[in-house]
Amino acid sequence: MEEEKPKIPEVKKPKIPELEIDAKNRIVEQTKKVPLIVNKKEVFVTIRKLTTGVRNRIRSECTKISILGGQQQVKVDESEIQEKILTHAIIEAPFDSSIEGIKKLPCEVTDYIFGEYTAFAEPIEKKNIK
């Protein structure tokens, strides 16, 4: 009878990000068109990947730290992060893409566009944990 060997889990290599640099040594902006139905017509919202500095500044602005009973309390406003990221990421849209314009959109629209942005600009590989 043959003895079964324990299976060694495969280690996936992380996806190597792509970067494009032009002749003047500037980073070329990466964009994506996201489809959206407006007035029963398909239109596109153009989004771009944000730089690390912009993304970190937004996350820092939306994080409040207070001291309560000698302990630091950190409050992160996820909805404010989403609104600010969308205002910076949306390049072209059939609606007002300012903070006030984003706040007036139905939540399923902002969640959809933000989901597309996240998949495009901040993909996270999920690990199967058993």
Q: What's residue 17's pLDDT?
A: 72
Q: Which two tokens stand for residue 128?
A: 């199967």
Assess if residue 23 is contained within a domain: no
Model confidence band, residue 47 (pLDDT cutoffs 50, 70, 90): very high
Residue 92 covered by a domain? yes
Domain tally, the chain = 1
Does 49 fall in a domain?
yes
Do the domain assignments include residue 94? yes
**What pLDDT is recorded for position 5?**
67
Residue 85 lies in a domain: yes
18 lies in a domain? no
Task: Give the per-residue pLDDT at 125.
Answer: 57
* 127 in any annotated domain: no
Q: Answer whether 34's CB lies under 8 Å from 42's CB.
A: no
The radius of gyration of the chain's CA atoms, rounded to the nearest angstrom, is: 20
pLDDT(15) > 80: no
Query: For residue 93, is it within any domain?
Result: yes
* Domain span at 94: 31-121
Q: Report residue 107 as tokens.
A: 């939540």
pLDDT above 70 for 124: no
Q: Between the CA of residue 59 and those of 21, 25, 55, 78, what are the distances in Å?
A: 26, 28, 6, 9
End-to-end CA distance of the chain: 29
pLDDT score of 43 more than 60? yes
**Residue 22 confidence (pLDDT):** 80
